[in-house]
Amino acid sequence: MAADSAARPGRQTRPGQEWWRSAVVYQVYPRSFADSDGDGIGDLAGLTGRLDHIAGLGVDVLWLSPVYPSPQSDNGYDISDYQDIDPVFGDLAAFDRLLAAVHERGMKLVMDLVVNHTSDEHPWFQESRDPGSPKRDWYWWRPPRDGREPNNWGSFFTGSAWARDSASDAYYLHLFSPKQPDLNWENPDVRQAVHAMMRWWLDRGVDGFRMDVINLISKDPALPDGVLRGDGLYGDGSPHFVCGPRIHEYLQEMHREVMAHYPERLLTVGEMPGVTVEQARLFTDPRRAELDMVFQFEHVGLDHGRDKFDPRPLRLTDLKASLGRWQTGLADVGWNSLYWNNHDQPRVVSRFGDDSPRYRTRSATMLATVLHLHRGTPYIYQGEELAMANAPLRSIEDFRDIESLNHYAEALRAGARPEDVLPGLRAMGRDNARTPMQWDASPQAGFTTGTPWLPVNPDHTEVNAAAARANPDSVYHHYRRLIALRHSEPAVVHGDFTMLLPDDERVYAFTRAYGGTTLLVAGNFTGDTVTAELPAGWEGAELVLGNGPSAAAVTGRLALAPWEAVVRRLTR
């Protein structure tokens, strides 16, 4: 699919009809998807060999998490060369073969753009360590303040957000790990280098970007202290870098310099920790020419206590209030992304469903139905279509993720016992989402012929793609039917959203209305049989999609079996 690199005056699809509004995206975390050479790590050739599994769902886009050269300190979100492929995943020729195979199946490929920070092993950073280098101002270098860090910000991965460099006895900023120094987007040379790199991938045929923590790239240049966090050790710098002072300017410039030159072809989604609905309206308003949609974090923070590793039970009314607010807030302008899972979140069937053999399939298909019938673009994370569950992570030796390992070490330094810390890591750690994709019931689930970098979940003997594709009642085929419904029923894409039963702690119900069609969607978030009041007029409505034996008869009351979901349709 050749890039339209000629800058045509904005011939744009009418707002509201862009192709990505009816699209479904499938995220691949390549390290854990399919290994073709037996080294225990997934690779591009392995992914290319498994594309029919993805295409068989009917998805439109494949989002590929980073495959660039990287020391792998944060599993590729620490990039040391933006225009090549890490040898562990293959090479550019293998990438081109993957891209062609994706396009041959009528799908698009979106790359992960990680430009808030590079790896500390990127040549740009290595050059910047010399105070006299022209690259010095490509990063946030500051002299010590009273012999210590330039401000009190804490890192997302525990500890200070500053690291001292002996080469110049100065500090550099890293919101994540010390091996992920933040780029200085105040510097136009940085922005131009990023734009050139983006065009290089788009001219190669890539169809867009998922932009990693893109709302963190603009910092308050004064770098003021933050309010001390609960740990009393570090300040919360987020008011000074979340959706910072120049973020819209940077994104509008990126759109002018890059996206505008490839009209109607791209999908751009900004990952935005801390973004609000009001801000998302600005980021996704097509008239502002910034991004198509954003990943917000409100709904995946509702079960956080002191922090993410202090999980609390989810209240369904909180979830409905949060997702309902995002539906209302982006109803007349902008667009939502819709997700439960990704490589940073625990598996939703374990988190918000019931991953027991009895209710794993039923709760997974209920969660999928409720999410996919919202207004927005749904994202499916690898294995979600199989209802893959959290991994049996026992001791800290079972963990690989830098975020979990750093949290554990800091908690023990602060005096906690392992048995106090491990339950939160087991429930919420990112390794839960990163166990190898479960292809079949063979010893390593068909993921590798070698030793996997992270153990395969033992439940792969029952939970695997081969079994799912062979079973018409599987989660896989339910996702396929949901995607087919999105592609055939305009009310799913364009319908107005109205939340029902906002105060009910058991049932999530809403309607979608478009033209003469109204859809009723209801999901039972419990393991009990429940009934709920419904608006009149639904008696005998057509059952479009369900996941349970009872297929929830609708009279004046809605009766739902444990974890049952229904979609009914009325056409006036």
| Coil/strand/helix, residue 326 | helix
Give the nearest distance from C-beta 99 to ligand TEU in angstroms: 22
Which member of 74, 78, 212, 385 is catalytic? 212
Q: Check if 332 is active-site.
A: no
Give the nearest distance from C-beta 425 to ligand TEU in angstroms: 12
| Minimum CB distance to ligand TEU smaller for 355 or for 431 | 431
What is the number of other CB atoms lying within 10 angstroms of the CB of residue 457?
21
CA neighbor of 382 nearest in space, from 34, 98, 88, 73: 34
Which member of 271, 384, 385, 459 is catalytic? 271
Rounded to 5 degrees, φ, ψ at 511 are -120, 160
Report the C-alpha gap between 425 and 396 in whole angstroms. Answer: 9
CA angle, residues 197, 382, 311, in degrees to nearest 5: 100
Give residue number: closest CB to ligand TEU.
77
Give the nearest distance from C-beta 436 to ligand TEU in angstroms: 17
Q: Check if 271 is active-site.
A: yes
Give the nearest distance from C-beta 122 to ligand TEU in angstroms: 14
DSSP state for residue 487 in the 8-state scheme: H
Residue ranges that bind ligand TEU, judged by CB under 6 A:
74, 77, 114, 156, 176, 212-213, 271, 273, 308, 343-344, 403, 430
What is the number of other CB atoms lying within 10 angstroms of the CB of residue 355?
20
Residues 6+ apart with CB under 8 A from 27: 62, 63, 65, 342, 343, 379, 380, 381, 382
Cα dihedral 275, 62, 493, 345 in deg (nearest 10): -40
| Minimum CB distance to ligand TEU smaller for 342 or for 361 | 342
| Minimum CB distance to ligand TEU smaller for 393 or for 519 | 393
Give the nearest distance from C-beta 176 to ligand TEU in angstroms: 5
| Minimum CB distance to ligand TEU smaller for 242 or for 554 | 242
| Minimum CB distance to ligand TEU smaller for 373 or for 388 | 388
Give the nearest distance from C-beta 345 to ligand TEU in angstroms: 7
| Minimum CB distance to ligand TEU smaller for 28 or for 552 | 28
Report the C-alpha gap between 340 and 299 in whole angstroms. Answer: 9
Report the C-alpha gap between 319 and 315 in whole angstroms. Answer: 7
Provide the residue count of the chain.
572
Yes or no: say if 3 and 203 are a contact pair by the CB < 8 Å rule: yes
What is the number of other CB atoms lying within 10 angstroms of the CB of residue 230?
8
Query: Tokens standing for 237?
Result: 């710098």
The residues annotated with a catalytic role in the active site are 212, 271
